């Protein structure tokens, strides 16, 4: 994978980081973004099967669990955001000028990259600088001073590799149980469309036992992760249609991505985005056309 960018109106830029083989299985994607002369607006950060890690290269990012919170005194303001898997949209204040790098981290890599299972992130406030420490804050400052994306991505990759290497020999506390790793791979292979009974049979555990392990490791049940994967697959298919100039066939996407019917696709979109599929596509059309919504499209740890 090589660096690439797309610009519309001259002021939206999304640049995908080149692949770093040593980070395969740890980081699904890293995308640099820069926008200018946009109207101040509200953006929906939608759930995915990844942990979001965002380094703002300008002002702190203002977020909230609701649209009202973003505009109020209780909004969160962070220069580095690190969040758990979630099942509802997170609202973000979109400023006139923004720049940053957004990463998608594999949840089962959290022990190596973050020093804790992904489930523990649900108990934290999302302040990435506090979670990752002073070295992450120093990395952000260096990336703010750099002029080009390739050098920024190289600095970021070096930071993540050092964290991964530090955790590689950390013993049981750094190890994810083999049953959870295999279950995640099975879910990813089926892109969230496999049955939970089939999953339990595959890893030779009861659904209850496997659910307990998943909850402790990633903070969600296998069924919740499966639904996230299925939704992410559908979202990426719709985004590809928009980028290709095709009119999305929602019923066809529902059937292709393993939804029972069109209404179940709409149900999941309303849960994860707060909008219908058509409403989300309309709201995100500019970002999609400019090259956004390019999360990694596989979930094998």
Instruction: State the CB neighbour count (10 A cutoff) for residue 298.
Output: 12
Question: Contact at 8 Å (CB) between 40 and 71?
Answer: no
DSSP-derived letter for residue 195 is: -
Which pLDDT belongs to residue 3? 36
Which pLDDT belongs to residue 222? 98
List, in sequence order, the alpha helices (H) in 133-189: 134-145, 149-168, 178-189
List, in sequence order, the alpha helices (H) in 32-148: 67-70, 110-114, 128-132, 134-145
Which pLDDT belongs to residue 1? 30
Question: Contact at 8 Å (CB) between 203 and 182?
Answer: yes
Q: Please report where in the chains the tokens 């719709």 appear, as a residue.
A: 238
DSSP-derived letter for residue 86 is: -
Q: Which two tokens stand for residue 94?
A: 């979109």
DSSP-derived letter for residue 220 is: S
Question: Where residue 172 falls among pLDDT bands split at 50, 70, 90?
Answer: low
Which pLDDT belongs to residue 8? 40
The torsion of the CA quartet 49, 174, 301, 193, rounded to 10 degrees, works out to: -50
Q: Residue 244: is its pLDDT beyond 70?
A: yes
The DSSP annotation for 58-74 comes to: SSPEEEESSHHHHTSTT
Question: Where residue 273 falls among pLDDT bands split at 50, 70, 90?
Answer: very high
* More confident site: 297 or 216: 216
Q: Which two tokens stand for residue 144?
A: 């703010």
Q: Which two tokens stand for residue 97?
A: 């000028």
Residue 78 CA, chain-centre distance (Å), reads: 17
Which pLDDT belongs to residue 12? 83
Cα distances (Å, whole numbers) of residue 256 to 185, 241, 249, 266? 20, 14, 10, 14
Q: Residue 139: is its pLDDT beyond 90?
A: yes
Residues of the chain with pLDDT > 90, as a percent, come to: 80
Question: Contact at 8 Å (CB) between 65 and 88?
Answer: yes
Which pLDDT belongs to residue 2? 34
198 CB contacts (<8 Å, ≥6 apart)? none
Helices 277-290 and 222-243 pack at an angle, to 10 degrees, of: 60
Residues 215-236, mean pLDDT to the nearest whole number: 97
Which pLDDT belongs to residue 286? 79
Which pLDDT belongs to residue 188? 96
Helix (H) or strand (E) holding 213: helix 207-218
Question: Where residue 289 falls among pLDDT bands split at 50, 70, 90?
Answer: confident
Query: What confidence tens digit (pLDDT) does each residue in 66-81 have?
Result: 999 999 999 999 999 9
Residues 144-168, mean pLDDT to the nearest whole number: 93
Residue 149 CA, chain-centre distance (Å), reads: 20
Query: What confidence tens digit (pLDDT) does each residue in 86-123 have?
Result: 999 999 999 999 999 999 999 999 999 999 999 999 98
For the purposes of burial, counting CB atoms within 10 Å of the CB of 180, is it exposed (0-12), middle (13-18) or buried (19 or more)?
buried
- As a whole number of angstroms, the distance between CA 68 and CA 210 comes to 38
Angle at 48 between CA 93 and CA 171, to 5 degrees: 115
Which pLDDT belongs to residue 221? 98
Residue 60 CA, chain-centre distance (Å), reads: 19
- As a whole number of angstroms, the distance between CA 189 and CA 183 comes to 10
């Amino acid at each position: 994978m090589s660096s690439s960018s797309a610009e519309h109106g001259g002021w939206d830029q999304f640049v995908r980081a080149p692949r770093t083989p040593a980070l395969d299985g740890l980081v699904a994607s890293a995308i640099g973004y820069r926008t200018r002369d946009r109207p101040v607006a509200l953006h929906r950060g939608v759930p995915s099967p990844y942990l979001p890690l965002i380094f703002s290269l300008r002002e702190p990012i203002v977020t909230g669990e609701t649209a009202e919170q973003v505009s109020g005194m209780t909004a969160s303001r962070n220069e580095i955001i690190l969040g758990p898997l979630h099942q509802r949209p997170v609202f973000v204040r979109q400023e006139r000028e923004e720049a940053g790098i957004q990463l998608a981290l594999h949840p089962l890599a959290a022990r190596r990259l973050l020093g804790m299972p992904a489930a523990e992130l649900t108990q934290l406030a999302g302040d990435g600088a506090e979670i990752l420490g002073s070295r992450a804050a120093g990395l952000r400052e260096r990336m703010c001073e750099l002029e080009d994306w390739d050098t920024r991505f190289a600095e970021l990759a070096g930071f993540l590799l050092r964290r991964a290497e530090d955790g590689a020999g950390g013993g049981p506390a750094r190890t994810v149980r083999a049953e959870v790793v295999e279950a995640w791979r099975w879910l990813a292979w089926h892109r969230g469309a496999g049955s939970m009974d089939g999953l339990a049979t595959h890893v030779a555990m009861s659904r209850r036992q496997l659910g307990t392990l998943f909850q402790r490791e990633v903070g969600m049940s296998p069924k919740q992760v499966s639904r996230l994967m299925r939704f992410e697959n559908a979202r990426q298919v719709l985004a590809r249609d928009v980028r290709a100039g095709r009119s999305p066939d929602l019923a066809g996407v529902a059937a292709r991505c393993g939804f029972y019917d069109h209404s179940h696709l709409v149900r999941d979109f309303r849960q994860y985005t707060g909008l219908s599929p058509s409403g989300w596509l309309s709201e995100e059309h500019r970002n999609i056309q400019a090259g956004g919504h390019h999360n990694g499209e596989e979930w094998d740890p």
